[in-house]
Amino acid sequence: MSYKINEECTSCGACEPECPNAAISQGDTTYLINSALCSECVGLHDTPQCAVTCPTEACVADPSKKETEAELLEKTKKAHPDKNFSGSFPSHFRK
């Protein structure tokens, strides 16, 4: 499932530069995560970086957007066509 930003967001902006897929942008009142781009950092990090950096824990998994590790890795591959993702890769699915 991709992540979303809930009402706890204070619009501090800490999450936006940490997203490796550029899925986070500033909305009218809070930051927003584009679920089409969010890969939960699968293939790049062991933990979604927005969740790690958010001081108010406003970046949370969106249960309405369930996706497999393979589906999320495909999003990462599309966002980073220059990287090689063969073999072992970081994923919170493997913790």
User: Please, which pLDDT band fits residue 86 given cuts at 50, 70 and 90?
Assistant: confident
E strands present in 1-95 = 3-5, 24-26, 31-33, 59-61
Average pLDDT across the chain, whole number: 95
CB 83 within 8 A of CB 25: no
Structural domains of the chain ordered from first start: 3-79 (3.30.70.20)
CB 7 within 8 A of CB 59: no
At residue 95, the pLDDT reads 66
Span 53-68, mean pLDDT? 96
d(CA 15, CA 53): 6
